[in-house]
Amino acid sequence: MCEVAMGEQERDISDIDPQECSSVMENGVMLVVNQSRVRAPLSVVLATVLYCAEFVTAAVLCSYYQKTEDVIWMGFTIAFMLVPAVLIQLTLTFIHRDLGRDRPLVLFLHLLLLGPVIRCVEALVVYYKAGRKEEPYVTISRKISLKKGHGTPMEWEIGQSERTLATHRNAFKRTAVIQAFLGSTPQLTLQLYATIQEKYFLLPARLTLMIITLISVIYGALVCSVLAIQIRYDDYKVRLRPVAYLCMIVWRGLEIATRVTALVLFSTALTHWVILVGMANLLFFFFFPWAEFWARKGSLTQDVEKNFSKLGTIVVLSMFTLLYACINVFCWSAVQLDLTHRELIERKQHWGRLAMYYCGRFVENFVLIALWYYYKSDFYEYVCAPLLAVQLLICYSLAVLFMLLFYQFCHPCRRLFKYNVHDCLHCVCCLKTRRGPSGGGQKLPPSYSTAATMVLVPDEPLELLNPQNSEHGERETAIIEDMTDAA
DSSP for 386-430, written as a single string: HHHHHHHHHHHHHHHHHHHHIIIII-TTGGG-SS-HHHHHHHHHH
* Angle in degrees, CA 36, 37, 43, rounded to 5: 115
Residue 293 lies in a domain: yes
Sign of the Cα torsion 97, 321, 327, 207 reads negative
Same domain flag for 95 and 213: yes
CA dihedral 113, 103, 98, 179 (to 10 degrees): 20
Expressed as residue numbers, the domain containing 278 is: 244-430
Of 174, 206, 239, the domain-final residue: 239
Q: What is the DSSP letter of 13?
A: E
Taking the C-alpha atoms of residue 420 and residue 351, their distance in angstroms, rounded to an integer, is 9
Same domain flag for 266 and 214: no
Residue 154 lies in a domain: yes
Same domain flag for 292 and 258: yes
CA dihedral 194, 195, 201, 204 (to 10 degrees): 100
Same domain flag for 212 and 349: no
Same domain flag for 230 and 249: no
Residue 143 lies in a domain: yes
Pick from 126, 94, 86: nearest CA to 110: 86
Same domain flag for 170 and 292: no
Q: What predicted TM-score, i.e. pTM, was given to this entire model?
A: 0.79
Residues 250, 352: contact at Cβ < 8 Å? no
Of 386, 410, 430, the domain-final residue: 430
Same domain flag for 342 and 387: yes
Residue 18 lies in a domain: no
Taking the C-alpha atoms of residue 327 and residue 347, their distance in angstroms, rounded to an integer, is 18
Residue 389 lies in a domain: yes
Helix (H) or strand (E) holding 5: strand 5-9
- pLDDT tens series, the chain, 487 aa: 333 333 333 444 443 444 444 444 445 555 554 555 678 899 999 999 999 999 999 999 999 999 988 899 999 999 999 999 999 999 898 887 777 777 888 889 999 999 999 999 999 999 888 767 656 666 666 665 555 555 556 666 677 788 888 889 989 999 999 999 999 999 999 999 998 888 766 788 899 999 999 999 999 999 989 888 888 777 777 778 899 999 999 999 999 999 999 999 999 888 889 999 999 999 999 999 888 888 887 776 655 555 566 777 788 888 889 999 999 999 998 888 877 777 777 777 778 888 999 999 999 999 999 999 998 876 666 778 889 999 999 999 999 999 999 988 888 877 767 667 766 666 666 665 665 544 444 444 444 443 333 333 333 333 333 434 444 444 444 433 443 343 3
Same domain flag for 254 and 268: yes
List b or e across 315-338, with b for residues whose CB sees 16 or more CB atoms inside 10 angstroms.
Answer: eebeeebbbbbbbbbbbbbbbbbb
Same domain flag for 262 and 189: no
Residue 223 lies in a domain: yes
- Residue type for 295, please? A
Same domain flag for 187 and 303: no
Of 217, 239, 261, the domain-final residue: 239
Taking the C-alpha atoms of residue 87 and residue 110, their distance in angstroms, rounded to an integer, is 11
Same domain flag for 219 and 291: no
pLDDT at 117: 94
Pick from 468, 461, 427: nearest CA to 447: 427
Taking the C-alpha atoms of residue 108 and residue 112, their distance in angstroms, rounded to an integer, is 7
Pick from 207, 368, 402: nearest CA to 278: 368
Residue 453 lies in a domain: no
pLDDT at 148: 55
Residue 7 lies in a domain: no
Q: How distant is the alpha carbon of residue 441 from its chain centre?
A: 44
Our count of domains for the chain comes to: 2
- Residue type for 392, please? L
Same domain flag for 220 and 75: yes
Q: What is the DSSP letter of 378?
A: G
Taking the C-alpha atoms of residue 338 and residue 348, their distance in angstroms, rounded to an integer, is 11
Residues 254, 402: contact at Cβ < 8 Å? yes
Taking the C-alpha atoms of residue 41 and residue 168, their distance in angstroms, rounded to an integer, is 8
